[in-house]
Structure 1
């Protein structure tokens, strides 16, 4: 699921995104772009066949700026609201940090859902 050097590969990325409660993968734009959603809301997008592998993730605006300043592989979200989305080139980033960013993106989206849905997802 992950590359030998501990980095996430495409299948590891897909599996991790789908490991969250009620997460689904859809292809609303074209067959190459995996769109990961929770309760109909997007939390990650990626062309899992691209080289280099990239993923776009929702992010707190202040944290987005901090991450971009600290990591050249993190840039404003491509074709997305640049204040709230980052696009990450996966290979240079450690798997642990990438997993945390994906989880943060999922949690941000879930935080905007109705309370009853959040409780059902065990994310109050």
Structure 2
């Protein structure tokens, strides 16, 4: 899966969740998805690669990072509660 596909799938998934809202508080190049005003997903480009930041439970974050090498601590976010894909 390439970065474009990753962003498309993540956005499609977010749109299916009830009460989601797409915002751009950091500018037009950064898609920020919120539920009830709280951010849960952030789509961006980092060093030419498209990334998805997801807010997750702290224990899930640790398990996912240990299991998948493509999942890292959240770029530019709280490393305990965010992951980057």
Q: 1:41 pairs with 38, 41, 45, which one? A: 38
CA deviations 1:58-87 (Å, max 9, x no partner) are 111111111111111101011111011101
2:34 counterpart SS class: strand
Q: Judge which range, 54-63 or 10-19, deviates more.
A: 10-19
Measure, in 1, the Cα distance between the counterparts of 2:22 and 2:15.
Answer: 7
TM-score by length of 1: 0.59
Structure 2 partner of 1:64: 61
Instruction: Name the count of aligned residue pairs.
Output: 81
TM-score by length of 2: 0.84
1:69 counterpart SS class: helix
Measure, in 2, the Cα distance between the counterparts of 1:62 and 1:12.
Answer: 24
Q: Which runs of 4+ in 1 moved over 4 A?
A: none
Higher Rg of the two aligned structures: 1
What is the alpha-carbon root mean square deviation over aligned residues? 1.9
- Relative distance call for 1:42 and 1:72 in structure 2 (3 A) is same
Which runs of no fewer than 5 residues in structure 2 stay unpaired?
none
Higher strand share: 2
